[in-house]
Amino acid sequence: MAIFGSKDTKVIVQGITGREGRFQTRLMIEYGTRVVGGVRAGKGGEWVEGVPVFDTVKGAVDATGADTSIIYVPGPGAADAMYEAIDAGIRLVVCISDPVPIMDMMKVSAYLKQHPETRLIGPNCPGFLTPSDRVKVGIIPGYVATPGPVGVVSKSGTLTYEVIYALTQAGLGQSTCIGIGGDPIPGTNFIEVLEMFESDPETEKVVLIGEIGGRAEIDAAAYIKSRMTKPVAAFIAGRSAPPGTRMGHAGAIVEGGEGSAEDKMNALREAGVRVADNPEQIPSLLK
């Protein structure tokens, strides 16, 4: 079941005329996503991959009825793209952009609190994919996924793909796969996605992929312990990272003794989560 989007989701692409925007638009359409338009100021009236381009998000929404937007705008301009989508009444905004300045995201986060009708996924994320409805909004490769009962939520992009592929090879299909991104201020966090999976009748098991830095996984463990009834398996990346060194994502840094892999793994185990030593173990832990 789709917890973020379905076959009826209407998507617009902000930054559609750029190299990545154009390329990923083609892949989303090929997978089955209803991409109904694109946005690029000054390019209104053009066509990209068979969809019309508009000068503004509002213009695209008014003309197409789009309810979802995906942003392929360079990091320094991503905040403005997010504001424009929120102001246009977009229900779901997926921001792939990286890097987005932390100060920008602090302001966007505050703005979102004034507009609870809009949900943001990202920034610096791979988006989401729902195999049963053939919809993907983002860069998760569709060919690694297959429909089934396992929900996947992850901070990492490439680890998401690896785990989805391992699940598929083991005969464990997926309900929804989502990458929330690894930046310090995400639009959607682990607990919010876990709540959705817990309420989703077609998600029977859950995979959580975390990493060092911050306490999002520890907070998720507390939620799992107190509220989740469905089995959860997890993997925490960055066990060998030296303290004080950022590993990949902007949020993946252990400082002040908080955010170590061991702390997170222990918290998850105490919550009844089966924690893998490597991503390939996850299918066997779920079985």
pLDDT value at position 87? Answer: 98
Question: 84-112: per-residue pLDDT in tens?
Answer: 999 999 999 999 999 999 999 999 999 99
For 202, residues 6+ apart whose C-beta sits below 8 A from its C-beta are: 1, 132, 149, 175
Q: What is the mean pLDDT of residues 257-266?
A: 84
The answer to whether the CB of 239 falls within 8 A of the CB of 228 is no
The answer to whether the CB of 55 falls within 8 A of the CB of 38 is no
Q: Residue 179 has which token pair? A: 């990458």
Residue 52 Cα to chain centre, angstroms: 26
SS3 state of residue 275: strand
Helix (H) or strand (E) holding 22: helix 19-31
pLDDT value at position 239? Answer: 75
Task: Tell me, yes or no, if 115 is annotated catalytic.
Answer: no
Q: What are the Cα distances from residue 90, in Å, to 54, 67, 81, 85, 146?
A: 15, 5, 12, 6, 28
Q: Which long-range contacts (CB under 8 A, 24 or more apart) does 48-52 make?
A: 48/16, 48/17, 48/21, 48/22, 49/16, 49/22, 49/25, 51/13, 51/16, 51/25
Catalytic residue among 10, 205, 249, 264: 249
d(CA 90, CA 137): 14
Closest by CA to 23, choosing from 89, 96, 86, is: 96
Confidence of residue 252 (pLDDT cuts 50, 70, 90): very low
pTM of the entire structure?
A: 0.93
The answer to whether the CB of 10 falls within 8 A of the CB of 39 is no
Question: 25-71: per-residue pLDDT in tens?
Answer: 999 999 999 999 999 999 999 999 999 999 999 999 999 999 999 99
Integer-rounded Cα radius of gyration of the chain: 18
Say which residue the tokens 């993997």 belong to.
235
Q: What is the mean pLDDT of residues 166-190?
A: 97
Tell whether the torsion through CA atoms of 209, 215, 221 and 223 is positive or negative. Answer: negative
DSSP state of 74: -
- Helix%, strand%, coil% for the chain, nearest 5: 35, 25, 40
DSSP state of 132: G
pLDDT value at position 248? Answer: 53
Question: 225-246: per-residue pLDDT in tens?
Answer: 999 999 999 999 977 666 655 5
The answer to whether the CB of 9 falls within 8 A of the CB of 135 is yes
pLDDT value at position 230? Answer: 98
Domains of the chain, start order: 10-121 (3.40.50.720), 140-286 (3.40.50.261)
The percentage of the chain sitting over the pLDDT mark of 70, rounded to a whole number, equals: 93
